[in-house]
């Protein structure tokens, strides 16, 4: 049997999934997770996470049964995925039985992934590493150092490890689009708005003007959740140059609300109400960036995973799913090393090769979805929307099931 010490840099979804998988499968390694946040509840964990069927399969492989059931109990299954135009005319409306993806609160998922792990160190911000033939020394911002047989880069889209290991890919590419991301707090009227918009799970509003509006109700209906904490998420996607021209680069909530109202002047009254009712302080600006695929990842004692290597816009809901798959793929190979069926560097090289294929297939899908939603000549976009409306009216089952069948595909 081969044993080795692993340092996981980053206590997010990918890094914690890997730690859980290694523990669940009894792989005899010494594993330590280092997270820069001082605690798992230190900051707002962002919006809910979509787990597609493919991602759920890998998550189940990573978690012990009790934690997987807790995930199921605190997530809800989408029962719709709709596309409409700004007048609320349907373009795509798949049957509920075709939708198998689930949604879970990000903080709840992180709590589940932390459960039972006694090897997570908080307040440990990675600074740099030094790799030798026999080990990797990790330096942290607090001045401390640790040594491992190998380290896992699970430190997110702004990965310092990527910047050191793959300096030519240190910077993410600009997609050219912002997302005005917003939360409309849950209330009786919010619930009614969601119902009238048909937003029981996920709605995309497409236009011919180079913008798109995504609406997702975020229900809190799990056994450990308070339904009153739910909200209606909406995100208005707009070109960066157009946004900057209209606002002069202002990023505060009131400016974001003003531009969203301006951009949606011709939208239906319900969509306008949703935007106008959202408090300005619940709005933030996200910049859609994307990773560029390396030709290869050099095989060494530094291993890449998750957003640290294949960051993508959230236009396919694949970021968390792909990170969880990374964790399972990596743990499976570590088990083979532990059982003497593969050499350590052979396993790392094989993982990186496979991961680059499916990881960047997900990146390509996300970028493709973004382009399909917002890119195109206004006249051609009008024709596209007309064709979609016509197909939905004439042969809805064909178009709707094609769209549903593509949800959560990894490429």
Q: How confident is the model at residue 386 (pLDDT cuts 50, 70, 90)?
A: very low
Q: What is the CATH number of the domain that holds 113?
A: 3.50.50.60
Of 290-304, 328-342, 376-390, which range is least confident?
376-390
Domain-located, residue 307: yes
Rg, C-alpha atoms of the chain: 22
CA–CA distances in Å: residue 153 to residues 147, 161, 164: 15, 6, 11
Rounded-to-integer distance, Cα 326 and Cα 332, Å = 10
% of residues, the chain, pLDDT over 90: 65
- Mode of pairing for the β-strands spanning 75-77 and 102-104: antiparallel
CA–CA distances in Å: residue 131 to residues 128, 137, 285, 300, 303: 10, 6, 38, 9, 12
- Mode of pairing for the β-strands spanning 212-218 and 302-304: unpaired
Q: Pick from 274, 233, 302: which is nearest to 88 by CA?
A: 274
pLDDT given at position 230: 84
pLDDT given at position 193: 92
pLDDT (tens digit per residue) in 342-362: 999 999 999 999 999 999 999
Residue 240: exposure state from Cβ atoms within 10 A (0-12, 13-18, ≥19): middle
What range does the domain containing 50 cover? 5-77+104-172+290-370
Domain-located, residue 85: no
Report the mean per-residue pLDDT for the chain.
Answer: 88
Rounded-to-integer distance, Cα 291 and Cα 356, Å = 11
Task: State yes or no: pLDDT of 387 exceeds 70.
Answer: no
Q: Which ranges constitute the DSSP H helices of 264-343?
A: 269-277, 307-310, 319-338
Of 140-144, 257-261, 313-317, 327-331, which range is least confident?
313-317
pLDDT given at position 204: 85
- Higher pLDDT, residue 387 or 153: 153
Task: State yes or no: pLDDT of 234 exceeds 70.
Answer: yes
Task: State yes or no: pLDDT of 295 exceeds 70.
Answer: yes
Domain-located, residue 15: yes
CA–CA distances in Å: residue 292 to residues 111, 285, 303: 31, 23, 17
pLDDT given at position 1: 52
Strand order in the sheet with 283-290: 90-92, 82-85, 203-206, 212-218, 231-239, 173-185, 283-290
pLDDT given at position 255: 92
- Higher pLDDT, residue 280 or 39: 280
pLDDT given at position 390: 59
pLDDT given at position 379: 46
Rounded-to-integer distance, Cα 129 and Cα 189, Å = 52
Instruction: Output DSSP code: residue 279.
Output: -
Q: At what angle do helices 269-277 and 188-196 cross, to 10 degrees?
A: 150
Domain-located, residue 401: no
Q: Mean pLDDT, to the nearest integer, of 317-336? A: 96
Q: Pick from 360, 207, 230, 214: which is nearest to 290 by CA?
A: 360
pLDDT given at position 83: 85
- Please tell me whether residue 292 adopts helix, strand or coil conformation: coil
pTM strictly above 0.75? yes
Domain-located, residue 378: no
Task: State yes or no: pLDDT of 382 exceeds 70.
Answer: no
Domain-located, residue 161: yes
pLDDT given at position 4: 87
Rounded-to-integer distance, Cα 156 and Cα 45, Å = 13
CB 245 within 8 A of CB 128: no
Residue entry with tokens 């049964």: 65
CB 264 within 8 A of CB 236: yes
CB 322 within 8 A of CB 56: no
CA–CA distances in Å: residue 84 to residues 63, 91, 317, 342, 385: 37, 5, 19, 51, 9
Q: Pick from 251, 250, 287, 9: which is nearest to 172 by CA?
A: 287
pLDDT given at position 411: 42
Say how many domains are in the chain: 1
Task: State yes or no: pLDDT of 183 exceeds 90.
Answer: yes
Of 1-5, 269-273, 284-288, which range is least confident?
1-5
Domain-located, residue 25: yes
Q: Mean pLDDT, to the nearest integer, of 280-295? A: 96
- Please tell me whether residue 207 adopts helix, strand or coil conformation: coil
Domain-located, residue 304: yes
Instruction: Determine how many CB atoms are found less than 10 A away from the CB of residue 368.
Output: 14
pLDDT (tens digit per residue) in 55-95: 999 999 999 999 999 999 999 887 667 888 898 888 777 66
Task: State yes or no: pLDDT of 396 exceeds 60.
Answer: no
Instruction: Output DSSP code: residue 157.
Output: T
Instruction: Output DSSP code: residue 71.
Output: H
pLDDT given at position 266: 93
pLDDT given at position 377: 46
């Amino acid at each position: 049997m081969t044993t080795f010490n692993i340092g996981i840099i980053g206590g997010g979804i990918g890094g914690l999934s890997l730690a859980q998988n290694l523990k669940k499968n009894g792989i005899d390694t010494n594993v330590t997770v280092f997270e820069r946040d001082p605690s798992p509840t230190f900051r707002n964990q962002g919006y809910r996470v979509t787990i597609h069927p493919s991602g759920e399969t890998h998550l189940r492989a990573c978690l012990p049964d009790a934690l997987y059931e807790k995930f199921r109990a605190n997530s809800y299954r989408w029962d719709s995925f709709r596309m409409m135009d700004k007048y609320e005319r349907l373009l795509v409306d798949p049957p509920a039985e075709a939708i198998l993806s689930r949604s879970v609160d990000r903080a709840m998922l992180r709590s589940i992934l932390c459960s039972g792990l006694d090897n997570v160190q908080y307040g440990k911000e990675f600074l740099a590493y030094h790799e030798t033939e026999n080990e990797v020394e990790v330096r942290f911002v607090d001045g401390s150092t640790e040594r491992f047989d190998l380290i896992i880069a699970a430190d997110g889209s702004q990965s310092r490890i990527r910047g050191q290991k793959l300096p030519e890919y240190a910077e993410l590419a600009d997609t050219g689009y912002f997302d005005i991301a917003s939360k409309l707090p849950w209330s009786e009227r919010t619930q009614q708005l969601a119902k009238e918009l048909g937003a029981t799970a996920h709605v995309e509003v497409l236009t011919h003007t180079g913008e798109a509006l995504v609406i997702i109700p975020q229900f809190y209906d799990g056994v450990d959740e308070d339904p009153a904490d739910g909200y209606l998420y909406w995100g208005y996607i707009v070109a960066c140059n157009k946004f900057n021209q209209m606002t002069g680069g202002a990023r505060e909530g009131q400016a974001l609300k003003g531009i969203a109202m301006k951009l949606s002047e011709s939208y239906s009254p319900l969509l306008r109400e949703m935007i106008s009712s959202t408090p300005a302080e619940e709005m933030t600006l996200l910049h859609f960036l994307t990773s560029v695929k390396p030709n290869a990842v050099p095989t060494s004692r530094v291993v890449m995973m998750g957003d640290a290597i294949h960051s993508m816009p959230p236009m396919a809901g694949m970021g968390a799913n792909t990170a969880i798959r990374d964790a399972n793929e990596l743990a499976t190979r570590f088990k083979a090393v532990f059982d003497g069926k593969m050499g350590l560097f052979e396993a790392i090289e094989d993982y990186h090769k496979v991961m680059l294929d499916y990881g960047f297939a997900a990146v390509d899908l996300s970028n493709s979805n973004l382009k399909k939603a917002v890119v195109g000549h206004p006249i051609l976009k009008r024709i596209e929307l007309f064709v979609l409306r016509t197909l939905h009216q004439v042969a809805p089952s064909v178009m709707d099931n094609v769209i549903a069948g593509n949800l959560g595909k990894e490429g």
